[in-house]
């Protein structure tokens, strides 16, 4: 930790800026990811870096951390008054720049203290001093206001605490500039609040932070300064006093989005799908993840399922979708008035249900496949000619979806791996629309994607329900649940504990139900 | 034109790299043996030598694509060859039923592997390691009383040693072989043109006309030369024909059918494949079943070629097949690998062995050199892959 008094003495000698990135240009084959970007961070501030997916935020941070090594980009990095030429991430960490990535870099099977000092173990003549390691680990955590049993394995803690452990790890490396990439995207509201408070506390300890986030409300809450990137250019750097979300959105997307949740107006039909007394037992973790769920969805209706992370919402969807390998289930499902049973996902798909996973990269898409093969994989039989895949028709179909969903790519033969989050989500959506479902289950449909793409996905949802499709939307973002749902179920502790109509629902009511349990 | 050629080479260095390596290896051996390596007799021999490994490499490609491994194919092949020998020599069974029974056994053994790996959840390494031990024991039991079983059935031995008949009875040249070669080239040209036109229709990037013609000429002349050489000797061997047919069927299956897509999807991301309604168990069963069938075929090819079943038949075949697949560019991370490339991988390894035998390299050094080539091939693959992405 930076000693506070020492820190103040140094201020006198050093410039106002801890970091200056000057005229950074980074090109990838075919794309200019960063174009003469200038980015300055003041000592001791919280600087939020925002922009749509693909705007160059991550690339800029990768240049800073040495992931893209010196020489592969043009421009200068000046940190603490000295020009830096990082060749590896290790180089940047040595001078005190530490990045915490969206995908946490912890080893689940190792203990908390092992994780905190992983890579910079406390050694005595080559032998690890475990006693000192444990004491130091506890000391660092205490600084963050946490007392944990550091001998427990990391996997035994929730994502929220794991995030804290990551920060502790950064602190143990004598961090001066902490970069947090979407730290709250996987956290619920309470944990997010705690994390943001910790970032503010770090500021008082003299640690400068760069925060990348899509959640504008939290940006406005913590930021001292905000820099907006768009299409690899620095659009603006502004002080955070009394600016509104709309101003930021305008800078981000280059146009105004008046109503992020587009209106819809259509008839809602009869009951399409109903779940009664549903229970699901997770075979791997040997516990009930869904204890009691009763709900229904009507034709042309968007039903939101709100709740905190770990409330069992994703497990509810997975267990309904037919996963006998992972879940033992009981209860009844009714589809179009008939009792149904799904022994495998393919049964559910055949009945007309599609499930768009919350984890695009983990179990949504096949990243090594191109766009067109990802779109057709769940319903190949539709384009079979005999036993052969009709590749001409496949091209036509994929082109159709690319146009109608506005998937940004240079061709439908581009690997999904190289698409931005928002575009990956659209491919995922296209894949499931191609099975022409009657009921679409969307699990966190806009996680980690930017405002512009969010708006597009909401509009697509509206078009789908207007055509008579039903949608179940699982989401942790309350504004989204409130803005898009006709009805809302609240889930907590594996149970559906309440139902609210669109009119009566407010953020406060939902949160009260979700945490009351 | 040269600019396009250069970017083309750069972009596809990974795909073409192996072919270039193969040509270089062949040229070096040809030089070192004063042309003996590329003689009609030796080339013909080379293909017969690689047959029983090549069919294994085809099956192994799919196994590795779905992130598994099969160590049991070596002794499995030896054991099934011994079964064939016993059925024919000790039970006087005719060739055709023998082959069918051995195929059926191969499929059953493969399905058993697949069952334990998919439904029970045994790691494939463990399951097939056990299979390898069991087959080895089985092979020893089968040959215990008699030692090496000599196969004196001419029809059966023809499979590994014989050549297709020539319907034209020309003294100097095997006309049927030449005709088959010409037909293959014509088919190749037809499909290349069709594919190009299709791509143009959808506004995809295509090769410019001169480069396109150059490519067709190059590949046609290589295929033409190969068939010319074979025709000027004894013609196509049955082994060659069998490998060709197996490769063709598997190539079509992996690239053109839903089953093929599903196999690669399972390899690329099993979780996503599962949620897309693909049954992982079924795919795993199929892939190991197919591996079992090809193991049986390999056993028949080997037993037939050496006209006998020996207690050591099949030793290390599994590792040769795995090496061929890796030289051919399959990825252990799953989802990546072409059947045709594995065949070329098998050809590279077979050329090395054949060439080193011709110039008289001792067996100990042969192993060392093969190991080094395997490392070099995979290093090349990894390096070019990271550059491409």
- Residue B151 DSSP SS3: coil
Residue of A nearest to B269 (CA): A366
Residues of A in contact with B262 (CB under 8 A): 377, 380
Q: For domain A269-352+437-517, which architecture applies? A: 3-Layer(aba) Sandwich (3.40)
Task: Check A388 against B277: CB less than 8 A apart.
Answer: no
Is B5 among the domain residues?
A: no
Considering only CB atoms, which chain B residues are within 8 Å of A387?
Answer: 257-259
| A218 min Cα distance to partner chain B (Å) | 32
Among the partner-chain residues A350, A357, A381, the one whose CB lies closest to the CB of B275 is: A357
- Do B133 and B191 lie in one domain? The reply is no
- What is the full DSSP assignment across A272-290? EEEEEEEEEEETTTTEEEE
Tell me which of B276, B329, B389 to substitute to probe the interface with A (most A C-beta atoms closer than 10 Å). Answer: B276
Backbone angles phi and psi of A353, in degrees to 5: -115, 135
Q: What is the pLDDT of residue A249?
A: 80
Nearest to B268 among A349, A366, A395 (CB): A366
> CB-CB: which of A377, A413, A417 is closest to B276?
A377
CA distance A486 to A468: 14
Collect all residues with Cβ–Cβ distance below 8 Å to B352 and sequence separation of at least 6: B25, B366, B369, B370, B373
Nearest chain A Cα distance for residue B189, angstroms = 19
- Compute the C-alpha angle B270/B276/B281, nearest 5°: 50
CA-angle at A389, arms to A468 and A349, nearest 5°: 35
Q: Do residue B55 and residue B124 come from a single domain?
A: yes
Angle between helices A451-466 and A421-433 (to 10 degrees): 10
CB A476 within 8 A of CB A309: yes
8 Å CB contact of B272 and A380:
no
Burial per residue of A77-115, b for 16 or more beta-carbon CB atoms within 10 angstroms, e otherwise:
bbbbeeebebeebebbbeebbbbbeeebebeeeebbbbb
Give yes or no: residues B196 and B148 share one domain. no
pLDDT at A2: 46
Closest to A161 in 3D by CA, of A187, A142, A180, A196: A187
pLDDT at A1: 45
Name the residue in chain B with its Cα closest to that of A360: B272
Alpha carbons A116 and A347: distance in angstroms, whole number:
45
In a domain? residue B7: no
Q: Among positive and negative, which fits the CA dihedral B177, B179, B181, B183? A: negative
Selected for mutation to probe chain B from A371, A380, A384, A394 (highest B CB count within 10 Å) is A380
Per CB-CB distance under 8 Å, the chain A contacts of B337 are none
Supply the DSSP string of A379-447, one letter for each residue: GGGGGEETTEE-HHHHHHHHHHHHHHTT---S-TTSBGGGS-HHHHHHHHHHHHHTT--SEEEEESTTT
- B131 and B43 belong to one structural domain: yes
Cα dihedral angle (B120, B126, B127, B131), rounded to 10 degrees?
A: -160
Domain region containing B48: 16-162+237-388
The residue behind tokens 């799953």 is: B334
Same-domain pairing of B326 and B286: yes
For residues A167 and A144, give the distance between their C-alpha atoms in angstroms, rounded to a whole number. Answer: 9
Residues B212, B244 within the same domain: no
Last residue of a domain, one of B236, B255, B281: B236
Q: What was the pLDDT predicted at A261?
A: 87
Are B232 and B297 found together in one domain?
Answer: no
Is residue B10 a part of any domain in this protein? Answer: no
B91 and B177 belong to one structural domain: no
Give the CATH number, domain containing residue B358.
Answer: 1.10.3470
Q: Report the candidate in B71, B19, B73, B61 with the shortest Cα–Cα distance to residue B330.
A: B61
Query: With a cut of 70, which residues of chain A have pLDDT below it?
Result: 1-14, 29-31, 53-54, 255-258, 515-517
Same domain for B299 and B218?
no
- Was domain A4-96+175-252 assigned CATH 3.40.50.300? yes
Q: Mark whether B211 and B118 lie in a shared domain.
A: no
**Three-state SS at B289:** helix
| Count of structural domains, chain B | 2
Distance of CA A184 to the CA centre of its chain: 8
Angstrom distances, CA of residue A422 to CA of A31, A35, A358, A448? 18, 22, 13, 8
Asked if B334 and B384 touch (Cβ cutoff 8 Å), the reply is: no
Interface test with A, best of B199, B275, B279 (most A CBs within 10 A): B275
- Residues of B with Cβ-Cβ distance to A381 under 8 angstroms: 258
A320: nearest Cα among A309, A330, A305: A330
CA B278 – CA B265 distance, rounded (Å): 9
d(CA A240, CA A221): 9
Domain end call among B185, B203, B236: B236
A95 φ, ψ (degrees, to nearest 5)? -90, 0
Q: How many Å apart are CA A184 and CA A108, to the nearest integer?
A: 19
Task: From chain B, pick out residues whose CB is under 8 angstroms from the CB of A344.
Answer: 277, 279
ipTM greater than 0.95 = no
Same domain, B156 and B261: yes
Tokens 């204890």 belong to which residue? Answer: A291
Residues of A in contact with B202 (CB under 8 A): 395, 399
pLDDT attached to residue A285 = 77
Which of A346, A368, A391 is the closest to B277 by Cβ?
A346
* pLDDT for B389: 44
Q: How far is A91 from chain B (nearest CA, A)?
A: 22
The residue among A317, A366, A441 with the most chain B CBs within 10 A of its CB, best to mutate, is: A366
Q: Are B318 and B37 in contact (CB under 8 A)?
A: no
Q: Confirm whether B195 is domain-assigned.
A: yes
Query: Final residue of a domain: which of B206, B236, B266?
Result: B236
d(CA A257, CA A248): 11
Residues 6+ apart with CB under 8 A from A340: A333, A334, A351
Q: Are residues B215 and B253 in the same domain?
A: no
Reading the block at residue A492, the tokens are 């907590």
Provide the sign of the torsion angle of the four alpha carbons A411, A415, A420, A422, taken in this order.
positive
pLDDT means per 10 residues, chain B with 389 residues, are: 75 77 90 92 91 97 96 97 96 96 98 96 96 96 92 94 88 90 94 88 81 89 91 92 96 94 94 92 97 98 96 94 93 88 94 94 93 89 66
Contact A196, A218 (CB under 8 A): yes
Per CATH, A4-96+175-252 and A269-352+437-517 having the same topology is answered: yes
Alpha carbon of B147: minimum distance to chain A alpha carbons (Å): 47
User: How high is the pLDDT of residue A120?
Assistant: 85
Domains of chain A: which residue ranges? 4-96+175-252, 104-173, 269-352+437-517, 362-436
């Amino acid at each position: 930790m930076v000693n506070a008094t020492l820190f103040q003495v140094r201020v006198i000698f050093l410039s106002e800026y801890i970091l200056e990135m000057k005229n950074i240009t980074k090109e990838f084959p075919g794309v200019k990811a960063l174009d003469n970007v200038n980015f300055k961070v003041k000592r001791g501030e919280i600087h939020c870096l925002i922009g749509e997916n693909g705007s160059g935020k991550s690339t800029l941070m990768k240049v800073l951390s040495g992931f893209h090594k010196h020489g592969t980009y043009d421009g200068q990095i000046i940190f603490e008054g000295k020009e830096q030429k990082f060749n590896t991430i290790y180089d940047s960490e040595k001078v005190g720049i530490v990045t915490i990535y969206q995908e946490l870099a912890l080893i689940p099977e190792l203990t908390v203290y092992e994780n905190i000092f992983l890579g910079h173990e406390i050694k005595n003549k080559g032998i690890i001093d475990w006693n000192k390691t444990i004491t130091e680990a506890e000391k660092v955590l205490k600084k963050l206001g946490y007392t944990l049993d550091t001998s427990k394995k990391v996997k035994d803690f929730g994502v929220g605490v794991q995030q804290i452990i990551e920060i502790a790890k950064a602190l143990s490396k004598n961090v001066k500039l902490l970069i947090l990439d979407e730290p709250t995207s996987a956290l619920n509201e309470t944990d997010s609040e705690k994390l943001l408070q910790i970032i503010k506390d770090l500021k008082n300890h003299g640690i400068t932070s760069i925060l990348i986030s899509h959640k504008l409300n939290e940006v406005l809450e913590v930021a001292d300064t905000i820099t907006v990137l768009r299409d690899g250019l620095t659009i603006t750097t502004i002080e955070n006093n009394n600016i509104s979300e709309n101003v930021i959105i305008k800078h981000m997307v280059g146009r105004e989005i008046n109503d992020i949740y587009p209106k819809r107006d259509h008839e809602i039909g009869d009951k399409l799908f109903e779940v009664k007394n549903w229970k699901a037992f997770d075979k791997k973790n040997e516990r009930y993840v869904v204890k009691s769920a009763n709900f229904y969805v009507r034709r042309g209706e968007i039903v939101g399922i709100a709740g905190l992370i770990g409330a069992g919402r994703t497990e509810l969807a997975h267990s309904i979708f037919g996963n006998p390998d992972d879940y033992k289930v009981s209860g009844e499902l009714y589809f179009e008035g008939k009792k149904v049973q799904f022994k495998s996902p393919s049964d559910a798909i055949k009945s007309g249900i599609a499930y768009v996973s919350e984890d695009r990269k983990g179990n949504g898409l096949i990243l090594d496949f191109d766009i067109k093969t990802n779109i057709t994989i769940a319903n190949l039989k539709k384009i079979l000619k005999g036993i052969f895949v009709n590749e001409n028709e496949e091209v036509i179909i994929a082109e159709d979806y690319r146009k109608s969903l506005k998937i940004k790519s240079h061709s439908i033969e581009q690997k999904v791996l190289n698409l931005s989050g928002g575009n990956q989500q659209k491919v995922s959506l296209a894949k499931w629309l191609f099975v022409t479902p009657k009921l679409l289950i969307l699990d966190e449909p806009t996680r980690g994607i930017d405002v512009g793409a969010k708006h597009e996905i909401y509009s697509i949802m509206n078009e789908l329900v207007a055509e008579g499709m039903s949608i179940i939307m699982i989401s942790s973002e309350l504004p989204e649940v409130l803005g898009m749902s006709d009805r809302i179920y609240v889930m907590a502790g594996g149970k559906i504990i309440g139902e609210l109509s669109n009119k009566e629902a407010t953020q406060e009511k939902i949160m009260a139900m979700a945490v009351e349990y | 034109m040269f600019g396009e050629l250069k970017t083309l080479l750069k972009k596809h260095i990974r795909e073409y790299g192996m072919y270039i390596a193969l040509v270089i290896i062949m040229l070096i051996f040809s030089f070192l043996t004063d042309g003996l390596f590329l003689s009609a007799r030796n080339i013909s021999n080379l293909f017969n030598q690689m047959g029983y490994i090549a069919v294994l490499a085809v099956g192994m490609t799919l196994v590795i694509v779905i992130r598994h491994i099969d160590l049991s194919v070596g002794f499995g092949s030896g054991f099934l060859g011994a079964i064939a020998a016993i059925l024919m020599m000790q039970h006087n069974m005719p060739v055709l039923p023998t082959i069918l029974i051995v195929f059926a056994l191969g499929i059953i053994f493969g399905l058993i592997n697949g069952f334990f790996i998919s439904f029970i959840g045994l790691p494939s390494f463990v399951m097939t390691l056990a299979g390898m031990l069991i087959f080895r024991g089985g092979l020893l039991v089968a040959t215990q009383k008699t030692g090496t079983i000599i196969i004196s059935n001419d029809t059966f031995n023809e499979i590994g040693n014989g050549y297709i008949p020539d319907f034209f009875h020309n003294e100097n040249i095997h006309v049927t072989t030449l005709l088959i070669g010409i037909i293959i080239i014509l088919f190749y040209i037809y499909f290349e043109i069709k594919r190009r036109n299709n791509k143009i229709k959808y506004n995809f990037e295509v090769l410019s006309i001169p480069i396109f013609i150059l490519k067709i000429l190059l590949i046609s002349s290589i295929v033409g030369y190969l068939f010319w050489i074979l025709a000027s000797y004894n013609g196509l061997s049955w082994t060659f024909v069998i490998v060709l047919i197996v490769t063709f069927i598997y190539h079509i299956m992996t690239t053109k059918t839903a089953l093929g897509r599903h196999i690669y999807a399972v390899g690329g991301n099993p979780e996503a494949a599962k949620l897309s309604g693909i049954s992982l168990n079924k795919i795993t069963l199929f892939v190991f079943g197919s591996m079992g069938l090809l193991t049986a075929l390999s056993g028949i090819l080997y037993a037939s070629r050496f006209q006998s079943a020996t207690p050591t038949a099949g030793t290390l075949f599994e590792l040769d097949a795995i090496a061929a697949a890796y030289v051919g560019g399959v990825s252990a991370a799953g989802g990546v690998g072409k059947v045709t490339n594995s065949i070329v991988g098998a050809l590279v390894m077979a050329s090395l062995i054949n060439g080193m035998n011709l110039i008289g390299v001792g067996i100990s050094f042969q192993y060392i050199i093969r190991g080094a080539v395997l490392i070099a091939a995979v290093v090349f693959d990894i390096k070019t892959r990271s550059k491409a992405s």
